[in-house]
Amino acid sequence: MSRRVLVLGGQRSGKSRFAEELIAKSRLTPVYLATATAGDGEMAERIARHRNRRGEGWRTVEEPLDLAGTLQREARDGQAVLVECLTLWLSNLMGAGRDIDAETATLVAALTATQGAVVLVSNEVGGGIVPDNRLARRYADALGTLNQRVAAAVDQVVLVAAGQPLLLKPTPQPEIVL
């Protein structure tokens, strides 16, 4: 397993299951770093489904805002941390009025310095139409930028669509040159 992997995909694409399988195959101690908060019944059900699917072998750490600090504490030799997910983390930051650029820079620095294996999950939201309201456009733009900055800092990037992983980084061979 690469030391740092970003798994991207749309909603219900299979990205979370793929990321969980990467961690399981590593044979390292699995740590689930949850950024979600159960703000309503539907979200509580989603969280419960994810927890049940993972089973009891995972240790869960809930942290909706201080992702960089938690990674620094949890990402160490012998452990594999699954960050689920950057999408909700960004939403939490925006809701708290945090400086997204500064938080992203802090996350990238922490990620680069980690000693343990880290798999980060994030949604790819840029493939649809441009949102019709300012907040949604700001969010989509910020998530696209966050994903790009994290992708630049990791060893591998995988896009999951319809449950099928596609390796984006390192660039599969043959390289396309014009």
User: For the segment 27-60, what is each residue's pLDDT rounded down to a tens digit?
Assistant: 999 999 999 887 888 877 877 887 778 778 999 9
CATH code of the domain containing 141 = 3.40.50.300
- Mean of the per-residue pLDDT values for the chain? 92
Share of the chain above pLDDT 70, in %: 97
Q: Specify the pLDDT at position 176.
A: 67
pLDDT of residue 172 exceeding 80, the answer is: no
* 28: in domain: yes
* 152: in domain: yes
* 66: in domain: yes
DSSP-derived secondary structure for 66-134: -HHHHHHHH--TTEEEEEE-HHHHHHHHHHTT--HHHHHHHHHHHHHH--SEEEEEEE--TTSPPPSSH
pLDDT of residue 1 exceeding 60, the answer is: no
* 11: in domain: yes
* Confidence band, pLDDT 50/70/90 cuts, at residue 91: very high
* 175: in domain: no
For the stretch 152-162, pLDDT in tens is 999 999 999 99
Are the CB atoms for 148 and 6 separated by under 8 Å?
A: no
| Residue 55 lies in domain | 4-169
* Confidence band, pLDDT 50/70/90 cuts, at residue 97: very high
Q: Is 138 helix (H, G, I), strand (E, B) or coil?
A: helix
The C-alpha atoms of residue 6 and residue 15 are separated, in whole angstroms, by 10
Residue 97: left if φ>0, alpha if ψ -120 to 50, beta else—which one? left
Question: How many domains is the chain built from?
Answer: 1
The C-alpha atoms of residue 161 and residue 128 are separated, in whole angstroms, by 14
Q: Which one, of 81, 89, 76, lies nearest residue 147 by Cα?
A: 89
Q: Specify the pLDDT at position 2.
A: 62
For the stretch 104-150, pLDDT in tens is 999 999 999 998 999 999 999 988 888 889 999 999 999 999 999 99
Q: Specify the pLDDT at position 3.
A: 92
What is the reported pTM? 0.91
Residue 22 CB coordination number (10 Å): 20
| Catalytic (active-site) positions | 50
* 86: in domain: yes
* 114: in domain: yes
The C-alpha atoms of residue 138 and residue 48 are separated, in whole angstroms, by 30
pLDDT of residue 151 exceeding 90, the answer is: yes
* 178: in domain: no
